[in-house]
Structure 1
Amino acid sequence: MTGHDSPVLRVAGRPVGRYVTRPELPARLSPRPCLHPVTTLAGTVVTELTPADHPHHLGVGVAVPDVEGYNFWGGRTFVRGKGPTELGNHGAQRHLAFQLREPGAFVADLRWMAAGAELLRERRTVAANELTGTAWALDFAFALTNTTSRPLSLGSPATSGRPGAAYGGFFWRARKEASAPEVFTAAADGEAAVHGARADWVALTGGASANPGAGGGAGWTLVLAGATDATRHDPWFVRTAEYPGVGSCLAHDARLPIPPGETVVRRIVTVVADGRLTRDEAAALVRKAVTP
């Protein structure tokens, strides 16, 4: 994997994430700019890029499996009545230009292209902020504008008939370890309870375990929080048993329409911490990260 013009995010002088603007990937993986590797302040990597289980998972970024029939997620497309199907319908996100580049932040414009035409124009705003000596926050906002002359809509496998598969939006592919990570919100524990829930925040924690022989390296925790009313309305997509990943669901119960010239805006703030945080510790760091 190589990239061109890939800035590095830094917190307190330490590199914590690289933004790959032009990943060299086959079309079926829906190439798109992404953050990888992302690390804790102690240097523990908390992302994966093109893992063997899902080669189309690319670190941290925005991916949508259905933009008016075009696949911007990668891999197979879920077809009603057929199931996951290999189609030649893959789109690609193309880095256009940086509007801002600083050691701890950048603003980038992207074109969402399919079949030789632009469907969406994205303004992506990303910042890395120090919270404590062992935690920092990745503030990631994106605005998707329909640049065509016709209505567009965003969908998911769930809106095509696959229950429980409403993925599409901001997505964080976490590191896979010998043991599955734990997941919790302020009120629920475990994948079954958290997946599909609407909650202010969701935490994924792995690595060092209190259970002897459980495996895993240094402890780490990710706490994803919706930072706007619209984002907090989106349910969470969560996987821990099959693979570790968390994201938001732009099209959970129904397709999300974007009329010509209109814009959909979402903002996720993720606490990236060393160690396995408790519920109270996660909540406290989220408040610090999201509070203006």
Structure 2
Amino acid sequence: MSIKRILFGLQFLILVSFSAFGQQVELRESSSGIDFLINSNTVLSYQTATAKVPEGINESFAMSGFIHPLRTLSGQVLTRIQPEDHYHHYGLWGPWTRATIEGRSVDFWNLGDEKGRVDFGEILQKKEESNRALITVSQNHIDLTASAKGNLAMEEELTISLEPIDSNRYVLDYQREFWTMIPSGMVLDQYRYGGGVFIRAVETWGSATSQILTSESKSRDEADASRARWIMLIGESQHASGKSGILILSNPKNHSHPEPLRVWPSDSNGGKGNVFLGFTPIREEEWKLDFGQKYKLNYRLIVFDGELSFEEADAYWSSYVESLGNY
């Protein structure tokens, strides 16, 4: 890592510590989930209750255990759930897709196939500080092809923490720890998407109203299947600047880092409402999970209003790495 990049990172750490002062962060629990508020405005909701599907849609698509809505500090909504083209898309989330368990094919992502699913379990921790809040929840990965007594294939503890940066930006840490309940272990099959962290963006963002850029300077139509340290999404919004977005940073300790990406191309869905992207650690090869071992995947997200330059994005990644110590 270059000295210049480290200095950029240190500057951003100092900026966070000073400019976030005075912004109050709090948690509020409701019948549907847990809300994170900054200065009394909800910016993030983690859904603990099962979200019902539209009338006439297969009820297997109903789901809990995801983030939606995700908002910027100005109130711009960045996520959507249950779009008509993919009813199993849920805001910000990361189920595994194809898995092999005791010779059976299980799918935790495509809910309509009824081979697997992921649901909220329980709240394990809630913590509030003056300018930071976090929750830890359990999420259950259910194998619907197994007997009722043995259908819990994986357990996961998801920690979500939030801290303001300034009046236009905040930090969201998304930390996953998971382990298999199968004595013989299980395999997360190689596939083009699944796991990691994914976002299905608001329906107003499409090819003409949003831009995608990666740490390797790849655009939307170049990013899919490439590897990256970070990926940035910016779209049109009601903010005074006309822009809002999200930067997703991959932890350098993550499996298969720098991680492969899944990004829908500009011509998907006719170019409208077609923003879907995320990190896919099993895109190039399968991942064997051994019984008795815990695994981690951690990400840092910068949610922002206004513009965010390539240099700023790189500096955020550098400060993230610096905060982790040696790796």
Which TM bucket (shorter chain)? 0.7 to 0.9
Q: Matched residues in 2 for 1:56 and 1:137: separation?
A: 27
Q: Matched residues in 2 for 1:32 and 1:255: separation?
A: 26
Aligned residue for 1:83?
Answer: none
Closer/same/farther in 2, CA of residues 289 and 41 from structure 1, 3 Å limit: farther
Q: Point out where structure 2 has 5 or more consecutive residues left out of the alignment.
A: 1-29, 53-57, 269-273
Deviations 1:174-198 (A, max 9, x none): 1132642211123323223222222
Which stretch shifts more, 25-34 or 174-183?
25-34
Q: CA deviation at 1:75?
A: 4.7
Q: Matched residues in 1 for 2:245 and 2:319: separation?
A: 16
SS in 1 for 2:193: coil
- Equivalent pair of 2:206/2:275 in contact (CA under 8 Å): no
Deviations 1:87-116 (A, max 9, x none): 431323232332234372101122212233
Q: Matched residues in 1 for 2:67 and 2:194: separation?
A: 19
SS in 2 for 1:177: coil
Selected match of 2:291 from 242, 260, 277: 260
Closer/same/farther in 2, CA of residues 61 and 89 from structure 1, 3 Å limit: same
Q: Matched residues in 1 for 2:305 and 2:226: separation?
A: 26
TM-score by length of 2: 0.74
Q: Flag the structure with larger Rg.
A: 2
Closer/same/farther in 2, CA of residues 17 and 291 from structure 1, 3 Å limit: farther
Instruction: Give the number of the structure whose residues are more often helix, by fraction.
Output: 2
- Equivalent pair of 2:69/2:80 in contact (CA under 8 Å): yes
Selected match of 1:122 from 153, 156, 169: 156
Q: CA deviation at 1:15?
A: 1.8
1:135 paired with 2:169, answer: yes
Q: CA deviation at 1:12?
A: 4.4
Which stretch shifts more, 3-12 or 184-193?
3-12
Q: Matched residues in 2 for 1:263 and 1:278: separation?
A: 36
Aligned residue for 1:220?
Answer: 244
Closer/same/farther in 2, CA of residues 30 and 265 from structure 1, 3 Å limit: farther
Percent identical among aligned pairs is: 18
Aligned residue for 2:197?
Answer: 170
- Equivalent pair of 1:11/1:104 in contact (CA under 8 Å): no
TM-score by length of 1: 0.82
Aligned residue for 2:254?
Answer: 230
1:233 alignment partner AA: P
SS in 1 for 2:88: coil
Q: CA deviation at 1:152?
A: 0.5
Aligned residue for 1:205?
Answer: 234
- Equivalent pair of 2:109/2:194 in contact (CA under 8 Å): no
Deviations 1:189-227 (A, max 9, x none): 322322222221111111159xxxxxxx94112111012
Aligned residue for 1:11?
Answer: 38
SS in 2 for 1:7: strand
> Which aligned pairs between 1:243-282 and structure 2 lie closer than 5 A?
243-282=274-313
**How many pairs align?**
266
Q: CA deviation at 1:13?
A: 4.1
Q: CA RMSD in A?
A: 2.5
Q: Matched residues in 2 for 1:201 and 1:134: separation?
A: 20
Closer/same/farther in 2, CA of residues 6 and 101 from structure 1, 3 Å limit: farther
SS in 1 for 2:254: helix
Deviations 1:52-105 (A, max 9, x none): 2211110112211123222211256xxxxxxxxxx4313232323322343721
1:73 paired with 2:73, answer: no
Aligned residue for 1:63?
Answer: 95
Aligned residue for 2:182?
Answer: 148
Aligned residue for 2:137?
Answer: 108
1:147 alignment partner AA: M
Q: Matched residues in 2 for 1:121 and 1:249: separation?
A: 19
1:151 alignment partner AA: G
SS in 2 for 1:16: strand
Q: Matched residues in 2 for 1:172 and 1:291: separation?
A: 26
SS in 1 for 2:227: coil
Q: Matched residues in 2 for 1:228 and 1:178: separation?
A: 29
Aligned residue for 1:99?
Answer: 125
Q: Point out where structure 1 has 5 or more consecutive residues left out of the alignment.
A: 77-86, 159-164, 210-216
Closer/same/farther in 2, CA of residues 239 and 193 from structure 1, 3 Å limit: same
Q: CA deviation at 1:19?
A: 0.7
Which stretch shifts more, 275-284 or 131-140?
275-284
Closer/same/farther in 2, CA of residues 96 and 150 from structure 1, 3 Å limit: farther
- Equivalent pair of 2:229/2:259 in contact (CA under 8 Å): no
- Equivalent pair of 1:153/1:256 in contact (CA under 8 Å): yes
SS in 1 for 2:96: strand
- Equivalent pair of 1:50/1:57 in contact (CA under 8 Å): yes
